[in-house]
Structure 1
Amino acid sequence: MNVHAEWTSFGEGFTGYLARPEGSGGESLPAVVVLQEIWGVDPHIQDVTRRFAALGYVAFAPDLYAKDGQRPEPLAAERVEETKRFLDSLPPAAWGNPDARQQALDALPAEQGARIGGTLGAIFSGDRKALALPAIAAAAWLRSEEGVAAPKVAAVGFCLGGMLSAQLACRDPQLAGAIVFYGAAPEEAQIPGIACPVLGIYGELDKRLTEPVPAFAEAMRSQGKSFDYVIYDDAPHAFFNDTRASYRAEAAQDAFRRAAEFLQRQLGA
């Protein structure tokens, strides 16, 4: 299915990447909020957004870093790409190790190290849950915007966006479903707020995020919530991202199939 995609503004000074089936303008379709990895609404997330639109939905990826169409300088697209290349040069274990990252930064030319260090600080620090605000605004906009007026809205997120997809499930009682690709689970105290089914998709090697999943599943079950999940053998974090060395084609293809089936159940074709 051919899709039309464009950048648009929404809510109070937010922007996002909107994709929908070609020729569906003015038609009310179910919608999917696509929530970014830490890199932002980069070419990969734009491609994923178009893939969900090709399933027959309005798909919308809010840029969680932008305000009034502009990102802070440390989160500018070219700075993020430079930082991504830097992290790709390190062993995966160093990503979450501030000392190892700093040692690698110190080996760079001073100006480059300061530039990348500033972007790392912007990406890895701060209140990430606050980024749920544009996600909530995006879901509300999809329901109410003239020319969209989605009858149902679901969310899917990756990494940072996976955590935010779960947060949206906790904080948006109208959400029809949430898909969490290797994102942190909400706190147990938030579970009573979840009013929709949740699908979790994880990689076995992503221990930090995968090991807590059975406990979250039990907490969801004990509170009468719907949570299904799959953990792919030998798959690392970000195994769905086909632009990264972490990509695992077989797991990614099966995960997309599961996500599409979940959306079919929760949103309809």
Structure 2
Amino acid sequence: MDQKIINLYDEYTHSSISRKDFMKKLAILTGSTALALSVLPLLENNYAAAVTVNSDDLHTENVTYKGVDGDIKAFLAKPKDKKNLGCVLVIHENRGLNPHIIEVTKRVADEGFIALGVDALSPFGGTPADQDKGRELIGKLDPEKNLKNYLLGLEYLCKRKDGNGKTGCIGFCWGGAMSGKLAVADPKLQVAIAYYGSQPKSEDVPKIKASVMLHYGGLDERINAGIPAYEAALKQNHIDYQLFVYEGVNHAFNNDTSPTRYNEAAAKLAWQRSMELFKNKLT
């Protein structure tokens, strides 16, 4: 697919562009409204296409914990009948806790961890089925309260009797940025993994105590513009970090429900690297 179309969709999903305006621009790029409508299913998430985890060996449940202004909803997965497990907070993209991120949470658990997929949209009643509505609500979150709600999620994991008290986080897109914010805000966090997320401010980097792993798509110019300053700050402050740029792949390359952006080879390699770091630091 034409990279201009993928870039337009990326702009749409990460800005306040209305769906109507997006479709107008897509029609211009494709040549007609009919062609735009035929391309749209290739761009939008198709949750039925996701790789699913066999849950027979997992315990899964919907849980809540106390947030700043009320209960925070979350999806928890863990290996059955096992204790003393490392804990991983899973942070969704800018559409909320959708079926794809629930599957990612189960995948983390399948690697031997207690995994908690937090629904940042809990203050609005939870993630809606309408993806555009989810994007709209993400923009209405109070940044300070939202960060605190994630920090409280890490506290929830630390206090679980089936955990070992060690925590890490992994976030994607909007969640990748949140992963960096948690690394800055929580000195007890052992690991912070970010997939194609915007970077913390350079002046905040000295606060990071966690081991950091960063995954970027080579074609993701918008996010990658922040890499040089972030990496310089990581080096200057002697932060334990690993940074990988996967050439020829797009933003959201890990999302197997997004057929035009998903890259299987890059996704598998990044996942392997991420799980190895968790197993090294959290077990």
Shift of 1:210: 1.2
Instruction: Tell me how far apart the structure 2 counterparts of residues 164 and 170 of structure 1 sit (CA, whole Å).
Output: 10
- Given that residues 129 and 167 in structure 1 are in contact (C-alpha distance below 8 angstroms), is that contact kept between their aligned partners in structure 2? no
How many residue pairs align between the two structures? 224
RMSD of aligned C-alpha atoms? Answer: 1.8
Secondary structure at the counterpart of residue 248 of structure 2: coil
Shift of 1:150: 3.3
2:129 to 70, 78, 81: 78
Matched, 1:59 2:73: no
1:16 to 65, 74, 77: 74
* 2:129 partner letter: E
Instruction: Tell me how far apart the structure 1 counterparts of residues 221 and 105 of structure 2 sit (CA, whole Å).
Output: 27
Residue 223 (structure 2) aligns with: 209
Q: Tell me the alpha carbon deviations over residues 143-187 of structure 1, each in whole angstroms, 9 at most, x when there is no partner.
A: 113x33432000000001100011000000100010000001100
Gaps of 5+ in 1: 84-115
Shift of 1:132: 1.8
Instruction: Tell me how far apart the structure 1 counterparts of residues 183 and 214 of structure 2 sit (CA, whole Å).
Output: 12
Gaps of 5+ in 2: 1-55
Residue 5 (structure 1) aligns with: 60
Instruction: Tell me how far apart the structure 2 counterparts of residues 149 and 253 of structure 1 sit (CA, whole Å).
Output: 27
The runs of at least 4 consecutive aligned structure 1 residues that moved more than 6 Å come to none
Identical aligned pairs, as a percentage? 29
Residue 108 (structure 1) aligns with: none
Residue 132 (structure 1) aligns with: 147
Structure 1 pair 234–127 and aligned structure 2 pair: CA distance change class (3 A):
farther
Residue 266 (structure 2) aligns with: 251
Instruction: Tell me how far apart the structure 2 counterparts of residues 49 and 142 of structure 1 sit (CA, whole Å).
Output: 14
Instruction: Tell me how far apart the structure 2 counterparts of residues 78 and 177 of structure 1 sit (CA, whole Å).
Output: 31
**Aligned counterparts, 1:105-116, within 5 A:** none
2:278 to 256, 263, 266: 263
TM-score of the superposed pair, with normalisation by structure 2? 0.75
Shift of 1:232: 0.5
Point out the more displaced range, 130-139 or 196-205: 130-139
TM-score of the superposed pair, with normalisation by structure 1? 0.78
Residue 243 (structure 2) aligns with: 229
Shift of 1:197: 1.1
